[in-house]
Amino acid sequence: MKAMSLIQFGGGRVVAVETDKPIPGPTDVLVKVLACGVCRTDLHVVDGELPHPTIPVVPGHEIVGRIEAVGRDVTTLVPGTRIGIPWLGWSCGVCDFCRSDRENLCPQARYTGYQLDGGYAEFAVADASFCVPLPARYDDVHVAPLLCAGLIGYRAYRMAGPGARLGIYGFGAAAHIITQIAVHQGRDVFAFAASGDDQALTFAREVGAAWAGFSNEPPPDPLDSAIIFAPVGSLVPEALSRVKQAGVVVCAGIHMSDIPSFPYRLLWEERTIRSVANLTRHDAREFLELAAEIPLNTHVQSYPLADANRALSDLRLGRLSGAAVLVP
């Protein structure tokens, strides 16, 4: 099969390879990849910002695939079914975290496109119990971003709490999905983008933000909570200065530059800083059921599999509104 593989840690690009079609193990499924989203986490893996990836590795963890074969112990899935393969590829099931519905924190967990080969390929394998059903109302390309931008974004959104005014820093794939959910639930979204990024401000307004401005601007009203999708540590004290008493600031990325020191008064009055780590299968079920009801309008730009480096570059340089999706 054809695949785009990371063969050098921190190399900044993937390489076209031809390799053997994978064989499913006893608990695995083999899927023909129909589409695979390009996530900022892929960029962190390719650029060497996340430690200890498997090398070589095929990136990609927003995989939409149709099952071609199942392992001998798989009884819940059958060939022909369309499924999603997300970031969490395996957890041990026996540690304290797994036994308390926090498998996202399992110390032995393995992740798709990082330690396990992912979806920048014509075929992929995954543990059947970590695959997720997909809403039928979305086509392959438009459902792909829901599998990480949507899932991680939704976990961050729940952690932000139920306040009426939500700030979102960094307006890309995850932000445009979560904005639609917040608006659907009657909340006001205040969108913040990097200085000079007028395209992001326009995009935010198009998907329902009540206000959009640059990250160093004050919103028209104090925020109840804020989610930071941009991997920029200096946005933490900035967001803290915009949330009111008991406000919550959620750091939603797997990687972020260092947070600078800031005066204690920004944290005082019971403000909270939280981080989001990975996702659980419960997150996936809950979010995808919600996505089937609303529905969400995912803005995507499709690329051929061979153009994976161009998609990564467009994401790196901020040339995308919405999400990039590879189509083998």
Domains of the chain: 2-148+279-327 (3.90.180.10), 150-275 (3.40.50.720)
Residue-level pLDDT at 250: 98
Q: DSSP state, 149?
A: H
Extract the residue ranges of the chain whose pLDDT is less than 70: none
Cis peptide before 295 (omega within 30 of 0): yes
Q: DSSP state, 122?
A: S
Residue-level pLDDT at 321: 87
User: DSSP of 277-290, one letter per residue?
Assistant: ----HHHHHHHHHH
Residue-level pLDDT at 68: 98
Write the single-letter amino acid at 126.
A
Local structure of 264: helix, strand or coil = helix
Q: How is residue 191 written in tokens?
A: 């969108």
CA diameter of the chain: 59
Q: Rounded to two decimals, what is the model's pTM? A: 0.94
CA pair distance 181, 137, nearest whole angstrom: 17
* Burial status of residue 241 (CB atoms within 10 A of its CB: 0-12, 13-18, 19 or more): middle
Of 88, 87, 117, 111, whose CA–CA distance to 22 is shortest? 117
Residue-level pLDDT at 265: 97
Of 326, 299, 307, whose CA–CA distance to 36 is shortest? 326
CA pair distance 11, 254, nearest whole angstrom: 19
CA pair distance 15, 226, nearest whole angstrom: 38
CA pair distance 154, 117, nearest whole angstrom: 25
